[in-house]
Amino acid sequence: MIKEDIKQLMDLQEIDAKIFEFEQAKKKKPLELQEKEKGVTAVKEKTKTLQEDQKKIKIEIDKKDLSIKEKEEKTAKLSIQLNVTKTNKEYSTLLSEISVFKADISVLEDETLKLYSKIEDTQKQVAESAKEVEKINKEFNDFKQKIDKDMGEIEANLGELYNKRNEMTSKVPAELLSCYEKIIDNKADKKAIAQVINESCQGCFMDITPQEVNELMKGKEIIKCRSCSRILYL
């Protein structure tokens, strides 16, 4: 009777091991999707940052263009005054002011040219990043479809396994099933029974006593490992 019970527990443990494997996979699949989604978000954020940089450069160009226009207008007014000035001192002062404005304009024009060059580079980066977004979006959608398919298969397998488990547990004595399930709930590897080889428990590899070996050979009662609490069998 005990041997039959142990055999049932071994079959049940095999089912539980598969259930555990599928449950772990079920937990991992959404995490895999989240990691993939992080990659998509990172590329989108990169594109957004480049677009914002592009706007900032454009604003800076507009500011410099406006400053150039204002200085050119002031230079034009000073040039008119220069033509009607009556004293050498006034003429010299106006000429100096015009010279300063022209120097400022020259600097601003150089800076503007550099900004135009910079904005062209940024535009290229935005275009490349946009292509990358399109590519990674497609990869993500394909990956999501695969995850959805995998999850469907996992759920189907779990459904079958849980049905088998229900059939099997209905045949195991209630007290023994309760003992088995208490053990398995506390084991990371989800193994509640362990074979004894050379007077050693294969669950924790601790030695068992000769008396316990004899009791196992008699097969009259359930023997548990004193170290790991697993149900033992020969």
Domain end call among 121, 155, 172: 172
Give the pair of three-digit tokens for residue 34: 């989240």
Residue 199: inside a domain: yes
Residue 14: inside a domain: no
Q: Which domain holds residue 112?
A: 22-172
Residue 140: inside a domain: yes
Q: What is the pLDDT of residue 3?
A: 83
Domain end call among 172, 191, 214: 172
Q: Are residues 81 and 146 in the same domain?
A: yes
Residue 149: inside a domain: yes
Residue showing tokens 């935005």: 126
Domains: count for the chain: 2
Strands 200-201 and 193-197: antiparallel
Residue 68: inside a domain: yes
How would residue 219 be classed by pLDDT, with cut points 50, 70 and 90? Answer: confident
CA distance 54 to 44: 15
Q: Are residues 66 and 123 in the same domain?
A: yes
Average pLDDT value over all residues in the chain:
93
Q: Are residues 68 and 155 in the same domain?
A: yes
DSSP string, 155-209: HHHHHHHHHHHHHHHTTS-HHHHHHHHHHHHT-TT---EEEEETTEETTT--B--
3-state secondary structure of 223: coil
Statement: residue 125 has pLDDT above 90: yes
Count Cα atoms within 13 angstroms, Cβ side, for 154: 18
Residue 8: inside a domain: no
CA distance 54 to 49: 9
Q: Are residues 136 and 179 in the same domain?
A: no
Cβ atoms of 57 and 117 closer than 8 Å: no
Q: Are residues 140 and 28 in the same domain?
A: yes
137-185 tens-digit pLDDT: 999 999 999 999 999 999 999 999 999 999 999 989 999 999 999 999 9
CA 190 to chain centroid: 28
* CATH number of the domain enclosing 137: 1.10.287.1490
Q: What is the pLDDT of residue 220?
A: 87
The vertex-133 CA angle with 131 and 137, nearest 5°, equals 120
CA 155 to chain centroid: 23
The vertex-213 CA angle with 210 and 215, nearest 5°, equals 115
Count Cα atoms within 13 angstroms, Cβ side, for 218: 10
Q: What is the pLDDT of residue 82?
A: 87
Strands 200-201 and 231-233: unpaired
Q: Are residues 39 and 109 in the same domain?
A: yes
Q: Are residues 76 and 116 in the same domain?
A: yes
Average the pLDDT over 56-72 and give the result. 96
DSSP conformation class of 219: T
Q: Give helix then strand counts, H and E, for the chain.
A: 4, 3
Domain end call among 154, 172, 190: 172
pTM (global) more than 0.85: no
Q: Are residues 133 and 201 in the same domain?
A: no
Residue showing tokens 């555990």: 20
Q: Are residues 198 and 165 in the same domain?
A: no
Q: Are residues 143 and 196 in the same domain?
A: no
Residue 226: inside a domain: yes
Residue 83: inside a domain: yes
Q: Are residues 39 and 134 in the same domain?
A: yes
**What percentage of the chain reaches a pLDDT higher than 70?**
100
66-93 tens-digit pLDDT: 999 999 999 999 999 988 888 889 989 9
Q: Are residues 200 and 106 in the same domain?
A: no
Q: What is the pLDDT of residue 86?
A: 82
Give the pair of three-digit tokens for residue 11: 């079959």
Statement: residue 1 has pLDDT above 80: no
7-28 tens-digit pLDDT: 999 999 999 999 999 999 999 9
